[in-house]
Structure 1
Amino acid sequence: MAAAALALSGCAVLGNVAQLDDDYYRVIHRPAADTLAALASRRQLYVQQRADTLLLTPDAPTGRPLTYRYRLQPNNRLWLLRRRLDLDVFTIPFKVRPPQGGVPVQLNTNFNAAIYVGRRLDFYSLRTKRTTPFGNTPHIRATGLGYGAFIGAGSTFITDDVTFTTRPTAADYEGVVLHGGLAAIYDARAFNIGLAAGIDQLLGPDGPHWVYQHKPWFGVLFGLDLN
């Protein structure tokens, strides 16, 4: 189970952002012959948005930092990257279990939940767009990916059909499982949705007899971004 506790996870977000957060970013793409050429050499920039103008302040190990003003253009996109810590809570509405021990493919719809912490990469495409008769306004489109580790708990129905031999417990019951795994997630702004792959460990005396003990499963995630 120790190997299952550490897992990678991916996140994604796609949509428009009204205001860029004041934070550290990197310029990962700029228009050709842009005045940001000297600043775009993979250095961190502290970025502040003021309407259609960005205030860019490079890290300055010594001396007073210099701030540059960059005005967004209607036909030229500027791409920024921000890295940050990500914390999510997931529910797993169903798991698909491949055939094991003579049992065909199973669809488990019992309660399952997980929590994960990881790193998030947010990509921002910035330009201006004419949306009013008074001129251009900032237009920011965000896309995000992430990676991290998750672990959680859930339940599964235990019967003689999903055990290898005569099990210690005679009654059918809802067993408690711990799980961890890999995930790729799309953030729909209001909620996260994604695909997951993981393994389970059944707690209790029937664990060693369970056909799915430490076997892979695949499922769907719904999540809530806590930060």
Structure 2
Amino acid sequence: MNFIILPLKLRPAVKEVSHQLNCDFNGSICAGYLKNRYNIDYLNHKSGLYVRNISNYEFFYGLFMGIGNTFISPTTTDHAIDDEYDGVVLQKGIAVYMGYNNLKAGIAIGMDNLLGKDRKNWIYENRPYLAFTLGFNIENK
């Protein structure tokens, strides 16, 4: 199991609202297929001793689910409300990423569900988006 964050979400144009690039907090748990490849090298230092260097390459694809926040305004609710606030969303979708050692980056396609009374008016409810992901493993190996 892995943990990913989605620091950038690109939402397509909906109604009169143009494309949106959101930079809100979004964290998710991922489950799916993970393929690792390890390289072990021994480097000879000037002292005559060998130092072991281990590199890890990985490829992952699978499903994600988590929570995040998003900006709610009259524009994003088709002018059904007058207030502006940060709403909580349940996010889900599929993700693909590649990793090298502790750095993992990739892309995801997901959909959000607004948790709250304005979900029926939110223009992005269950609409797909494209996201950039960063991740790390949360299990011991």
Report the TM range for the smaller structure's normalisation. Answer: 0.7 to 0.9
Does residue 36 of structure 2 align to residue 122 of structure 1? yes
Rounded Cα–Cα distance in structure 1 between residues aligned with 2:64 and 2:55: 28
TM norm structure 2? 0.81
Letter in 1 for 2:20: Q
Q: Which amino acid is the alignment partner of residue 19 of structure 2?
A: V
Q: Which of 113, 122, 133 is the aligned partner of 1:201?
A: 113
Give the whole-Å Cα distance in 2 for the aligned partners of 1:130 and 1:108: 44
State the secondary structure of the residue aligned to 1:207: coil
Q: Does 1:150 align with 2:64?
A: yes
> Please, what TM-score do these two structures have when normalized by structure 1?
0.52
Tell me how far 1:111 sits from its aligned partner.
Answer: 1.0
Maintained 8 Å contact 2:55/2:101: no
Look up the SS of the partner of 2:94 in the other structure: strand
1:131 CA displacement: 5.6
Aligned mates of 2:103, 2:54 — CA distance in 1: 20
1:83-122 equivalences under 5 Å are 87-122=1-36
1:89·1:115 contact (CA, 8 Å) conserved in 2?
yes
CA-based RMSD: 2.6
For 1:226, the equivalent position in structure 2 comes to 138
Structure number with the higher strand fraction is 2
| Aligned twin of 1:212 | 124
Instruction: For 2:25 and 2:34, locate their aligned partners in 1 and report how far apart those are by CA, in whole Å.
Output: 27
User: Within 5 Å, which residues of 2 pair with 1:43-192?
Assistant: 87-123=1-37, 143-167=57-81, 170-192=82-104
Partners of 1:100 and 1:211 within 8 A in 2: yes
Q: State the alpha-carbon separation in 2 of the partners of residues 144 and 90 from structure 1.
A: 14
Rg larger in structure: 1
Indicate the percent of aligned positions where both proteins have the same amino acid. 31
- Unaligned runs of 5+ residues in structure 1 are 1-86
Deviations 1:79-114 (A, max 9, x none): xxxxxxxx1111111211110111001111111110
Question: Moved runs in structure 1, 4+ residues, more than 3 A?
Answer: 123-126, 128-132, 138-143
